[in-house]
Structure 1
Amino acid sequence: MSNIMLGVDIGTTSTKTVAFTLEGQVLAQHVVEYPLLCSTPGMAEQDPQLIYRAVLTSIAEAVKAANATCTGARRVVLVSFSAAMHSVIALDGNNNLLTNSITWADNRASEWSSRIRDEFNGNEIYRRTGTPIHPMSPLCKLMWLRHDQPDVFARAARFAGIKEYVFFRLFGSWQVDHSIASATGLFNLQELNWDKDALALLGISAAQLSEPVPATHHMKGLDAAIAAQLGLNPDTPFVIGANDGVLSNLGVNAIRPGQVAVTIGTSGAMRTVIDKPLTDPSGRTFCYALIEGHWVVGGPVNNGGNIFRWVRDELATAESAAARCAGVDPYDALTRIAERVPPGAAGLLFHPFMAGERAPLWNADLRGSFFGLALHHGKQHMIRAALEGVIFNLYSILPAIEDLIGPTKRMMATGGFARSALWRQMMADIFQREVVVPESVESSCLGAAVLGLYALDMAPSLDVISDMVGSTNRHLPIAANAAIYDRLRPIFMSLPGKLQQEYQALSEFQRQSALVQPSQPLQSLRSSH
Structure 2
Amino acid sequence: MPMKNEPLILALDIGTSSTRAMLFDAHARPVANLAVQMAIQMETTSNGGATFDANYLFACVVATVDELLERAGPLAGRIAAVTCDTFVGNVLGANADDEPVTPVFTYADTRNAPDAQQLREELGPAGSAVAHDRTGTLIHTSYLPARFRWLARTQPEALRAARYWLSFGEFLLWKLTRQRVASYSVASWSGLLNRRSLSWDAEWLERLPVTVEQLSPLIDVDQPLVGLTTPWAGRWPALKSVPWLPAIGDGAAANLGSGCDHPDRIALTVGTTGAMRVVLDPALDRVPAGLWLYRVDRHRGLLGGATTEGGNLYAWLQENLRLPPAAELEQQLAALPPAAHGLTVLPFVAGERAPGWNDKAKASLIGFNLNTQPIDIVQASLEGIAYRFALIYERIAGHLPPSATRSIIASGGGLLSSPVWLQIFADVLDQPILALDEKEITSRGIALLGLEQIGAIRRMADLPPATGQTYLPNAAAHTAHTAAIERQVQFYEQFYG
Q: TM-score range by the shorter chain?
A: 0.7 to 0.9
Match of 2:351 among 335, 343, 356: 356
2-structure distance, mates of 1:362, 1:216: 34
Q: Deviations over 1:93-122 (max 9, x none)?
A: 444333322222222222222332332222
CA contact (8 A) 1:123 1:133 kept: no
- Aligned counterpart for 1:200 among listed residues 203, 206, 211: 206
Look up the match of 1:18: 22
User: Are 1:134 and 1:358, in contact at CA under 8 Å, matched by a contact in 2?
Assistant: no
Q: 1:216 to 1:345 in 2, by over 3 A?
A: farther
- 1:496 and 2:492 matched: yes
Paired letter, 1:10? I
Check whether the contact 2:423–2:473 (CA below 8 A) recurs between aligned residues.
yes
Q: Which residue of 2 aligns with 1:80?
A: 83
2:267 is the alignment partner of 1:270: no
User: Match of 1:158, as an amino acid?
Assistant: Y
Q: 2:437 is matched with which residue? A: 439
* Aligned partner (choices 100, 111, 115) of residue 114 of structure 2: 111
- In structure 2, the partner of 1:464 is 460
1:224: Cα distance to partner?
6.5
Counterpart residue number, 2:413: 416
Displacement of 1:213 in angstroms is 0.9
Partner residue in 2 for 1:514: none
Residue in 1 that maps onto 2:382: 387
Quote how far apart the aligned CAs of 1:199 are. 0.8
Deviation at 1:453, TM superposition (A): 1.8
The answer to whether the aligner puts 1:483 opposite 2:486 as a matched pair is: no
TM-superposed deviation, 1:163: 1.2
Q: Secondary structure at the match of 1:15?
A: strand
Q: Deviations for 1:282-329, whole angstroms, at most 9, x for unmatched residues?
A: 6322111222321121112222333334445x525x879xx7xxxxxx
Retained in 1: the 8 A contact 2:183–2:246?
yes
Whether the 8 Å CA contact 1:63–1:231 is kept in 2: the answer is no
Query: Could you say if the C-alpha distance between residues 301 and 186 of structure 1 is closer, same or farther in structure 2, counting changes exceeding 3 Å?
Result: same
The Cα shift of 1:400 comes to 1.6
Given the superposition, is the C-alpha separation of residues 332 and 203 from structure 1 closer, same or farther in structure 2, using an over 3 Å criterion? farther
* Superposed displacement of residue 414, structure 1: 1.9
1:201 is matched by which residue type in structure 2?
R
Indicate whether 1:397 and 2:392 are aligned. yes
Asked whether the equivalents of residues 76 and 238 of structure 2 are also in contact (C-alpha less than 8 Å), the reply is yes
Deviation of 1:448 (Å):
0.7
Aligned length: 485
SS at match of 1:240: coil
Partner residue in 1 for 2:181: 175
Displacement of 1:137? 0.9
Give matches, 1:175-324, under 5 Å.
175-223=181-229, 226=232, 232-278=238-284, 280=286, 283-312=289-318, 314-315=319-320
SS in 2 for 1:396: helix
The whole-number CA distance in structure 1 between the counterparts of 2:199 and 2:205 is 11
TM-score, length-normalised on structure 1? 0.83
Secondary structure at the aligned position of 2:44 is classed as coil
Runs (5+) with no aligned partner, structure 1: 324-330, 502-529
Q: Give me the whole-angstrom Cα distance separating, in 1, the residues matched to 2:74 and 2:484.
A: 53
Cα deviation 1:243-280 (Å, max 9, x = unaligned): 12222222222233343111223332112222233264
For residues 35 and 340 of structure 1, what CA distance do their matches in structure 2 show? 42
Q: Give the root-mean-square deviation of aligned CA atoms.
A: 2.8
Q: Does 1:473 align with 2:477?
A: no
Offset of residue 332 of structure 1: 6.4
CA contact (8 A) 1:170 1:222 kept: yes
Q: Which moved more, 1:346-355 or 1:419-428?
A: 346-355
- Preserved CA contact (<8 Å) 1:284 1:361: yes
- TM-score norm. by structure 2 comes to 0.88
Between 90-99 and 157-166, report the one with greater CA deviation. Answer: 90-99
| SS of equivalent residue, structure 1 residue 347 | coil
SS in 1 for 2:294: strand
Which sits farther off after the overlay, 16-25 or 177-186? 16-25
Structure 2: any 5+ residue segments left out of the alignment?
A: none
Match of 2:342 in 1: 347
Q: 1:142 to 1:492 in 2, by over 3 A?
A: same
1:178 positional shift: 0.5
Q: Does 1:36 align with 2:42?
A: yes
Residue identity over aligned pairs, in percent, reads 26
AA paired with 1:419? Answer: L
* TM-superposed deviation, 1:422: 2.4
Of 97-106 and 379-388, the range deviating more from structure 2: 379-388
User: CA 1:103–1:489 in 2, change beyond 3 Å: closer, same or farther?
Assistant: same
SS of the residue corresponding to residue 245 of structure 1 reads helix
Q: CA deviation at 1:335?
A: 5.1
Q: 1:90 aligns with which of 88, 93, 97?
A: 93
- Secondary structure class of the residue paired with 1:96: coil
1:148 alignment partner, one of 149, 154, 162? 154
Q: State whether structure 2 residue 139 is matched by structure 1 residue 133.
A: yes
Question: Post-superposition shift, 1:192?
Answer: 1.4
Letter in 2 for 1:88: V
SS at match of 1:346: coil
Q: Give the drift of 1:148.
A: 3.1
1:517 matched residue in structure 2: none
Q: For residues 44 and 296 of structure 1, do their structure 2 counterparts lie closer, same or farther at Cα, with a shift above 3 Å needed?
A: same
Pairwise CA distance, 1:368: 2.1
In the alignment, the residues of structure 1 paired with residue 30 and residue 412 of structure 2 have an alpha-carbon distance, to the nearest angstrom, of 17
Separation (CA, whole Å) in 2 of partners of 1:192 and 1:174: 17
- Which whole-Å CA distance do the structure 1 matches of 2:389 and 2:434 have between them? 16
Give the distance between the partners of 2:332 and 2:207, measured in 1 at CA: 52
Change (3 A) 1:450 1:348: same
Checking the alignment, whether the CA contact within 8 Å between 1:395 and 1:430 is kept in structure 2 is: yes
Alignment partners' CA distance in 1, 2:114 and 2:384:
27
Q: Tell me if structure 2 keeps the 8 A contact 1:117–1:123.
A: no
Q: Structure 2 vs 1, CA of residues 126 and 446 (structure 1 numbering), >3 Å: closer, same or farther?
A: same
Residue of structure 1 equivalent to 2:426: 428
1:158 maps to 2:164: yes
1:386 is matched by which residue type in structure 2? Answer: S
State the 1:176 CA deviation: 0.8
Aligned-pair CA distance for 1:139: 1.7
Q: Is contact 1:46–1:101 with CA below 8 Å preserved after alignment? A: yes
- In structure 2, what residue type is equivalent to 1:383? V
Any conservation in 1 of the 2:309–2:350 contact (CA below 8 Å)? yes
Distance in 2 of aligned mates of 1:305 and 1:404: 28
Relative to structure 1, the CA distance from residue 216 to residue 281 in structure 2 (aligned partners, 3 Å threshold; closer, same or farther) is closer
